[in-house]
């Protein structure tokens, strides 16, 4: 069996939503100390709906595929629904990740959480 699903390979080779959003409403950056990979998420939010999302990932194939899939999953969602996105849902949408690569999908979940927290904290001010 191939190590990676076709979906992982497709999102790794042609990642969706790569880039930066200037004046983003929420920005989150997280890293994994063990592997050294870093992921940054930018959110554009109008009326509590995520209208645009972009990412920059300096990491492995699974981290890039996970970020790409995660951005597709939350685009158009309400903030409160995007908060519930789990790394498991990201991995499932990719038709699975090898067990030792599950932490790469955790990075995507954490990056989105962090960007949403940034948005929420700015909203309160
Ligand atoms: Fe670290 Fe994939 S090996 S995020």
Specify the number of domains making up the chain: 1
Q: Is the CB of 60 under 6 A from ligand 1?
A: yes
Answer yes or no: is 107 within a domain: yes
pTM to 2 decimals?
A: 0.95
Ligand 1 mean position, distance from CA 58 (Å):
9
- Taking only the tens place, the pLDDT of each residue in 46-92 is 999 999 999 999 999 999 999 999 999 999 999 999 999 999 999 99
- Taking only the tens place, the pLDDT of each residue in 9-20 is 999 999 999 999
How many Å apart are CA 73 and CA 54, to the nearest integer?
Answer: 12
Which domain CATH number covers 68? 3.90.1010.10
Continuous H helices in 1-125: 6-13, 61-74, 79-82, 87-93, 102-124
Domain boundaries, position 109? 6-124
Atom of ligand 1 nearest to the CA of 35: 1
- Taking only the tens place, the pLDDT of each residue in 96-114 is 999 999 999 999 999 999 9
């Amino acid at each position: 069996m191939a190590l990676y699903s076709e979906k992982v390979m497709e999102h790794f080779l042609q990642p969706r939503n790569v880039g930066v959003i200037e004046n983003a409403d929420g920005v989150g950056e997280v890293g994994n100390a063990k592997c050294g990979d870093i992921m940054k998420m930018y959110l554009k939010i109008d009326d509590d709906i995520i209208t645009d999302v972009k990412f920059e990932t300096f990491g492995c194939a699974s981290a890039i595929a996970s970020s790409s899939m995660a951005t597709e999953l939350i685009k158009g969602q309400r903030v409160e629904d995007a908060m519930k996105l789990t790394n498991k849902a990201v991995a499932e949408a990719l038709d699975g990740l090898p067990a030792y690569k599950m932490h790469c999908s955790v990075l995507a979940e954490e990056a989105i959480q962090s960007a949403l927290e940034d948005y929420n904290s700015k909203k309160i001010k």
